[in-house]
Amino acid sequence: MWARRFAATYCGTFGSSMATGTKIRQLSRLLDSSETPLWAIGPDGRLAYLSSGCATWLGIDPEALVDRRSIAGVPVSDDPLDQLAASLSPPPGIAARGTASLKIQPRQIGEHRGEPLEVRFLRVGQGDASLTIAVAGSFNDRAVDEELKDAVAVRQRLDAWRKRHAGLATIATAGDSAAARRMRRRLRVAAATRCDVGFFGPPGSGLESVAARIHQLSAAAEEMVTVDGPLMDAELLDATLMPLAHLLADSQQARATAIVRGLDEMPFEAQLRLANLLETYSGRLRLLAVCGPRPATLHEALDTPSGDELDAQQDESNGICMELIETLSALSVTTEPLASRVEDIPMIATAMLDALHASGETSAERLSRAALDALVIYPWPRNVDELADAIRHAGTRANASSISVEHLPLAIRSYRPGETTQPKHAGISLDDAVQRYELKLIRDALEDTDGNRAEAARRLGISRARLIRRVDENSEDQTAK
């Protein structure tokens, strides 16, 4: 009943429409279904609503307290209910601060004595439209949690990055490092000018998604085709780009974009064909090329070579023909290996975790300090893609609000700086190792049997002839040396 009265009384505070009133009644039902004591104090200082949790805590029907004054420091009557209502008031200064905390021991009514509870007060609105909401319970946020403090700091940096770079907000571009800032500056130019762009970086850097984002920002209405460079020959490239070629041939006003993955691994004849198409539809067909880690450069005073000379220049230019180097020389975007962007890793990992949490794929909301330390020291041979896989793996294993070290993949949580990536027994011949071990066993057996070869062979489970042959072979080896 008090919930209905609250809805009817304060419907005007939040809007007088029937739809709004319905929403408030739904809110009242949700609040009443909780065992948490919650109440609301109107702008006149009177109790406007008390949840069913208050009935359990206070030991009375909350309806008896509705409309009673709940103001700190105001004299009340001798009525125990008035005194109880006054004990639920916020501390002085709530109007100025907007929020406050107070431990409340409610006045005893009859034989029931409610336990003291920490209460958080929140003031919503101003003046006659204000409402003070109080929630009682056990709160454990007074002490400073250093890990939560770190998580909040990372989240604030991430929010600031999203706000400033909303247009270019691909996860691969997140961070405060000089490399990240340099990459974003060039991406802003690429997004604003609609020009040919070369994207250079190590495998797993997320450059294809960056190239797609640049296309969306600079020419979203254009037709676009993605080309897998290493699989192309000249004929297959023509077939792949045929829709764009027809579009451009039919209309002089048409524009189109080709995103080429692995341009530096595309067969040379296909590269020349692509260069020819770019020249044929100059200014109307745009190339967004995703390449390897080393940016190609245009050599000065170098004419387009031919024959064997052409292949030599291709090798010098990171696998890209000179015509395409010239096309991409106007603007290139380079991303550094993730291991060289150590200061960016916490922000990038947090952004990835946010995306997983928002999609419902994990309950985890933050990374522990130890988990972040493990991410920072790991060398990330597969760069951003490997980090994304690691966060997804950890998110599916975590069953709490925080990802810990034990949730990370084994390769990351067991990595120690300075470890070599080479096999532990690299360069050791298995046959040689077995022969040395066999000879050691034979020597030990001969020593135990005082040189009796037959007895030594019996103990080893081999023939006497084999034992003698192995001893003789070892003697020959020693003589040869």
How many angstroms separate the CA atoms of 35 and 54, rounded? 8
Predicted confidence at residue 478, as pLDDT, reads 61
Greatest Cα pair distance in the chain: 115
Q: Which two tokens stand for residue 421?
A: 């990536």
What superfamily would CATH give domain 178-334?
P-loop containing nucleotide triphosphate hydrolases (3.40.50.300)
What was the pLDDT predicted at 305? 44
Backbone angles phi, psi at 94, to 5 degrees: -60, -35
Name the class of domain 144-166+343-422.
Answer: mainly alpha
CA distances from 269 to 68, 155, 275 (A): 87, 49, 10
What is the CATH class of 2-137? alpha beta
Report the alpha-carbon distance of residue 423 to residue 421 in Å, rounded. Answer: 7
**What CA–CA distance (Å, rounded) separates 246 from 473?**
76
Q: What is the pLDDT of residue 8?
A: 47
Residue ranges, the chain, pLDDT below 50:
1-5, 7-9, 11-18, 296, 298-317, 421-426
Comparing C-alpha atoms, which of 185, 187, 200 is closest to residue 325? 200
Chain CA centroid to CA 471, Å:
63
Confidence (pLDDT) at 349: 94
Domain at 430-476: CATH code = 1.10.10
C-alpha neighbours within 13 Å on the C-beta side of residue 109: 21
The rounded distance, in Å, linking the Cα atoms of 261 and 238 is 16
Q: Which pLDDT value is given to residue 243? A: 93
Residue spans in the chain of domains classed CATH 3.30.450.20? 2-137
Give the β-pairing of 38-41 and 47-50. Answer: antiparallel
pLDDT tens digits along 176-217: 899 999 988 999 898 888 899 999 999 999 899 999 999 988
For CATH 1.10.10, the residue range(s) in the chain are 430-476
The contacts of residue 418 (CB under 8 Å, 6+ apart) are none
The pLDDT, as a whole number, for residue 289 is 95
- Residue 477 is predicted with a pLDDT of 64
pLDDT (0 to 100) of residue 461? 83
- Write out the residue limits of the CATH 1.10.8.60 domain(s) in the chain: 144-166+343-422
For residue 74, the model assigns a pLDDT of 57
pLDDT of residue 72: 64
Q: Where in the chain is the domain with CATH 3.40.50.300?
A: 178-334
In this structure, how many other beta carbons lie within 10 angstroms of the beta carbon of residue 13? 18
